[in-house]
Amino acid sequence: NAGVTQTPKFQVLKTGQSMTLQCAQDMNHEYMSWYRQDPGMGLRLIHYSVGAGITDQGEVPNGYNVSRSTTEDFPLRLLSAAPSQTSVYFCASRPGLAFYEQYFGPGTRLTVT
């Protein structure tokens, strides 16, 4: 049982490049989320999904796309990277809403130059 896995661990992009951050969980959780963490800003919700085929925007969705074709996978796509997207990105999953623990992946540290 690997929990929540994220790849890559580190990534450097040039402005304008696109890429996909991968996230997978093997706990059969319905609810998955993407957060970004910046110094002094805490964790901010980018996008979330309440099940396969269902996604919605969080607090800071601009510049990011998501899809959820399976319960296990929830990739985050950066369409055209900008320096403002330099951050640490965390994927998380929960078995349900209301009182359930959120399980986080180890994070991806992204630098956009």
Partner 1 sequence: TQLLEQSPQFLSIQEGENLTVYCNSSSVFSSLQWYRQEPGEGPVLLVTVVTGGEVKKLKRLTFQFGDARKDSSLHITAAQPGDTGLYLCAGEFWSGGSNYKLTFGKGTLLTVNP
> What residue ranges bind partner 1 (CB under 8 A)?
4, 35, 40-45, 50, 59, 90, 92, 97-99, 101-102, 104-107
Whole-number Å distance between alpha carbons of 49 and 21:
16
CB of 100 to partner 1, least distance (A): 8
CB of 97 to partner 1, least distance (A): 4
Q: Whose Cβ is closer to partner 1: residue 64's or residue 90's?
A: 90
Q: Whose Cβ is closer to partner 1: residue 79's or residue 101's?
A: 101
Pairing of the two strands 76-78 and 87-94: unpaired
